[in-house]
Amino acid sequence: GENVEQHPSTLSVQEGDSAVIKCTYSDSASNYFPWYKQELGKRPQLIIDIRSNVGEKKDQRIAVTLNKTAKHFSLHITETQPEDSAVYFCAASLRGSARQLTFGSGTQLTVLP
Amino acid sequence: DTEVTQTPKHLVMGMTNKKSLKCEQHMGHRAMYWYKQKAKKPPELMFVYSYEKLSINESVPSRFSPECPNSSLLNLHLHALQPEDSALYLCASSQDRTENYNSPLHFGNGTRLTVT
pLDDT digits (tens, 9 = 90+) for A14-24: 999 999 999 99
pLDDT surpassing 60 at residue A59? yes
> Does the beta-carbon distance from A103 to B42 stay under 8 Å?
yes
What would you report as the CA-atom Rg of chain B, rounded to the nearest whole angstrom? 14
pLDDT at B1 over 90: no
Q: Say if the Cβ atoms of A44 and B90 lie within 8 Å.
A: yes
Average pLDDT over chain A reads: 94
Backbone angles phi, psi at A50, to 5 degrees: -145, 145
The pLDDT assigned to B101 comes to 61
Q: Nearest chain B Cα to A6, which residue?
A: B42
CB atoms A99 and B55 under 8 Å: yes
The string of DSSP codes covering chain A is ---EEEE-SEEEEETTS-EEEEEEES-TTEEEEEEEEE-TTS--EEEEEEETT-SEEEETTEEEEEETTTTEEEEEE-S--GGG-EEEEEEEEETT-GGGEEE---EEEEEE-
Residue B55 in this model has a pLDDT that exceeds 90: no
Q: Determine the residue among A10, A37, A42, A101 to mutate to test chain B binding: the one whose Cβ has the most chain B Cβ atoms within 10 Å.
A: A101
Whether residue B8 has a cis bond before it, omega within 30° of 0: yes
**How, if at all, do strands A107-112 and A10-14 pair?**
parallel
